[in-house]
Amino acid sequence: MEILSKYLELTVSDGTVMRAYGARPKDPGTSVGLIIGQEAFGVNAHIRDVTERFARKGFIALAPEFFHRTAPGFEGRYDDFQSVLPHMKAMTEAGNEADLRAAYDWLLANHGATLPVASVGFCMGGRLAFLGALTLPLKCAVSFYGGGIAPGASGPGLVARAKELHGPMLFCWGGLDKHITPEHSRAVADGMRAAGKPFVNVDFSDADHGFFCDARPTYSPAAAAEAWPLTLAFLASHTGASLPPKV
């Protein structure tokens, strides 16, 4: 499927301007909007590639730069997490919610007020996808190894607010992940059950944190190949997206 892609500028309610990378089919037809939650390393080549991959499956995909207040255009190296930390620490829940709202509003303003919208996020973006589903009327959301959803050393997490979710969740975890442990993923599942919210919880037992990213040393081709069609099927099921025959 032929796609169009470009950088966009979105106005956020706090008066800031946020750049986002957008990709969509050249001939969208009946479409679904998709907010892509970046890893902590920015809207880098990998996140842009993922955004384009979703566009080739028929989605109007938008990857906002959530570090726009401290480092517009930031692209960190996977071997230099220390450079990422100041920007992560500067993020606020209010700022994240405003950024998600700006992305959601842009999709509806430019592609129709009835456009169904979902979210997919990776690592830090996995938490943002969950936050988006809490605060926006998303049809569903997908979180890949999202840190900070379960309670932990960094805070109380978000799962205690699961009753506020607007749609079903798909969680993809790496069984070898030392950052987000089985205890964390179980806490998320328990919280979802306690809230009575629909979800799918998938543990790729031989995959590590970041297994979907082919630019990271923890990339798992097998787990990524299995997670991709599952993600597409989940999105199609809950948004009404009409996917190409081969997913």
Catalytic residue among 68, 87, 123, 172: 123
Helix (H, G, I), strand (E, B) or coil at 158: coil
With tokens 């726009």, the residue in question is: 68
d(CA 99, CA 76): 20
d(CA 144, CA 190): 18
* DSSP H/E element including 139: none
Answer for the pair 47, 38: CB distance below 8 angstroms, yes or no.
yes
Residue among 54, 49, 202 at smallest CA distance from 118: 54
d(CA 124, CA 37): 7
Catalytic residue among 177, 208, 213, 238: 177
d(CA 175, CA 127): 18
Catalytic residue among 46, 68, 209, 238: 209
Q: Is 177 annotated as catalytic?
A: yes
Kindly state the tokens that stand for 7. Answer: 């950088």
Q: Report the catalytic residues.
A: 123, 177, 209
